[in-house]
Amino acid sequence: MPIEPPGDLDVVDYIAQTRDSYAQLGYDAYRWARNDDPPAMQPPVDLASARVALVASGGIYRVGQVAFHHADDTSHRRVPMSSDVADLRVSHFAYDTTDAKADPNVVFPVEALRALEADGTIGSLAPDGLTFMGGIYSQRRVREELIPAIEAELREMEVDLVLLVPV
């Protein structure tokens, strides 16, 4: 069974919200990923010596790159972790991007990670963050197209730990 939130935490149940909204609109129910089998678990990481990569699905691209389209775009972008946040842009259809446009760190925490590298909390950052537009309805295409591409990039950058930031 999925992990339940603590009793004192009143979380918004977005699965229920989506189900009820779709029903009201006359759509078929969206099938969220459900995995009752436990995930593989890697051993602990020593942060102070770890090379850390950022993978984020908020639709961030850098000026000069082609923006994401919104019809199951499974492509990704390499966004240098040295980027000025003023050069970061947002392209996504499924969430309110107002704050992400004003401060891309809310979905692509590049400045927080740079600060944690500077103070020695983490060993180093991978040179590029990997970004995509996470509103992909086909789980098959995520598995067959996006995931192998992300894995290949991470292997090339020889990372020890990946921080994943969905929206």
Residues 101-140 that bind another protein (CB under 8 A): 101-103, 105-109, 111-113, 115-116, 121-122, 134-135, 139
Size of interface with another protein, in residues (CB under 8 A): 96
By the rule CB under 8 A, 99 interacts with another protein = yes
Smallest gap from Cβ 46 to another protein, in A, equals 7
Smallest gap from Cβ 155 to another protein, in A, equals 8
Binders of another protein among residues 5 to 64 (CB under 8 A) are 5-6, 9-17, 20-21, 24-25, 32-47, 50, 52, 55-58, 61, 63-64
By the 10 Å C-beta count (0-12 exposed, 13-18 middle, 19+ buried), 50 is classed as middle
Smallest gap from Cβ 48 to another protein, in A, equals 10
* Angle, alpha carbons 72-74-78 (nearest 5°): 140
Token readout for 144 is: 């067959």
Binders of another protein among residues 141 to 160 (CB under 8 A) are 142-143, 146-147, 150-151, 154-155, 159-160
Smallest gap from Cβ 102 to another protein, in A, equals 6
Phi, psi at 120, each rounded to 5°: 85, 5
